Chains A and B, each alone.
Chain A
Amino acid sequence: MTMPFYVPPEQLMQDRAEFARKGIAKGRSILAIEYDTGILIVAENPSRALNKIGEVYDKIAFAGVGKYNEFESLRVAGIRHADVKGFNYGREDVNAKGLANAYAQTLGTVFTNQPKPYEIELLIAEVGKEPDDNRLFRIRYDGTLGDERDFCAIGGQEEELTEVLRDRYEAGLSLDAAIAMAIGAFEAVEERTIPSHEWEAAVVDRGNGRRSFRRLSADEIETARSKS
């Protein structure tokens, strides 16, 4: 019988983290921005069929960067978790904090127990009754959970996007201004112009009724960009 080589746990975790970070850095970033009546999520996505942003529950949206099959299975798991909870208790008992915690637990377990960590980062946005009740959570590949205010970027260009928005962001933006600002930030970081049909964008807006999630069309994005 051969003995396996001893690998110190620090080394093991570091290797795994590096592996996951490399995978995530390959994908394009996603940006969420709060505006006057909700939260906008924008992703550069040329595919018309495979979404990176999705509806989870009445007030909650999901976005994922990295490997599609990995964040897609987490999206489905999140919808199941939310629908079962809302069915057994009440609709208002489903909130982003509980969901973000469940995601953090899952990613943390996968990171330490599975042969390969997930190469993804997730963003959970919840629109509240008042702007102060809005929630933005970011969950990293190792289960690290963080909450953000005003805006939140995930993925490879997270730092650059955050840098740009720190200078430009102001509270109380209109939806059109938020769209223009988000796309402007991406274009500033990438130093190129990206056509309107290559964006995927959605909002959770408190004016939309019970199901606050709505996807934005390329026309709406075009109109918002031309206004600014």
Chain B
Amino acid sequence: MSLDLPGGFEHDRHESSFTDLLRRAGQMPSWDPAAIDHAGVPEATTVLALKTADGVAMVGDRRATMGNLIAHRRMDKVFPADSHSAVAIAGTAGIAMELVKLFQTELEHYEKLEGNRLSLEGKANYLGALVRNQMPLALQGMAVVPLFCGYDESDGRGRIYTYDVVGGRYEEVEYAATGSGSVHAKAYLRAVFRDDLTREEAAAAAIEAIVAASDEDTATGGPDIQRGIYPIVAIVEESGYHELDEAEVERISREVLERQS
């Protein structure tokens, strides 16, 4: 098979965009809002992010629900967007996961073509555009509301962005949460947040916020010691994105639960 050669300026206004490339090839993932009964589609629930002294921490519970059923117990909702940012999802799970995959590919595609990464602001804006493209579905009750955070290499600090269903992008100063349990998670974070949390303290606070949300909201799954299911905890600092390993999250979760009993 022959390659489609890129032209000069006249052919393309978005030379580096992977999403445009897929659209031109007619391979853009799409859903027909009229054809889907949204009560039968899994929903991802609570995710949150908070700033730490050196960057940001992002945590997601593992539950996906379908109406009043538990659809999945071990779902991943926190993903690396690229080496220095993380994205977490709430809302219609299938659409949200496709959106994350598209976002990850887009960032890497841009980096390979241009030789440098997009700025954190640029990544946040791009994610807003992806959410905006899903608006017809959102209006049918299948909303995708991501949470985005990362380490801003140009000014050396962590940043958090939230979105609404129409793609509106808001920068948060201290912490943010989205999904069904977000009200309770935020209420908890409001009480404990300081701007000098260490990475360990932030992870513990975030897990406690998930526990608080799971106490009040049936769609949020807290740490499940019997089944060995724990929240996903990601940290983004100057050194980049990394996830805490399961043993460490288990240890912190057990401490949190013991403190509460």
Contact = CB atoms under 8 A, between A and B. Distances in A.
B2 A102 contact: yes
Interface string A44-57: 00000001001110
Given A80-B3, A87-B101, 8 more contacts: A74-B5, A77-B4, A79-B112, A80-B21, A80-B109, A83-B105, A106-B3, A211-B108
Interface string B91-109: 0000000000110010011
A78 B3 contact: yes
A226 interface: no
Contacts of A74: 3, 5
Given A51-B115, A76-B113, A84 B3 contact: no
Contacts of A83: 18, 21, 105, 108-109, 112
Nearest to B25: A84
A196 interface: no
A81 interface: yes
A11 interface: no
A103 interface: yes
Interface string B14-33: 01001001100101000000
A21 to B, nearest CB: 22
Nearest to A77: B3
21 contacts: A51-B115, A73-B6, A76-B15, A76-B113, A77-B5, A77-B6, A80-B3, A80-B4, A80-B21, A80-B109, A83-B18, A83-B21, A83-B105, A87-B18, A87-B22, A87-B105, A101-B1, A102-B1, A102-B3, A105-B1, A109-B2
Given A51-B115, A56-B112, A79-B112, A84 B1 contact: no
Interface string A65-95: 0000000011011111101101110000000
Contacts of A106: 2-3, 5
Q: Which are the 7 A-B pairs with shortest beta-carbon distances?
A: A77-B3, A106-B3, A105-B2, A76-B6, A106-B2, A83-B109, A79-B112
B112 A103 contact: no
A80 B108 contact: no
Contact of B6 (A80, A84, A101): A80
A88 B27 contact: yes
A116 to B, nearest CB: 14
Interface of B: 1-6, 15, 18, 21-22, 25, 27, 101-102, 105, 108-109, 112-113, 115
Contacts of B2: 102, 105-106, 109
A87 B3 CA distance: 17
B22 to A, nearest CB: 7
Given A73-B5, A77-B3, A106-B2, A84 B21 contact: yes
A87 B15 CA distance: 18
Nearest to A215: B115
Nearest to B102: A87
Interface string A100-126: 011101100100000000000000000
A76 B2 CA distance: 14
A54 B109 CA distance: 12
A5 B27 CA distance: 47
Interface string A166-177: 000000000000
Interface centre among A54, A78, A84, A86 (most CB of B within 10 A): A84
Nearest to B15: A76
Instruction: Pick from B3, B15, B18 the residue with the most CB of A within 10 Å.
Output: B3
B27 to A, nearest CB: 6
Nearest to A72: B6
Contacts of A101: 1
A78 B15 CA distance: 14
A54 B3 contact: no
Contacts of B5: 73-74, 77, 106
Contacts of A211: 108
Contacts of A109: 2
B221 to A, nearest CB: 28
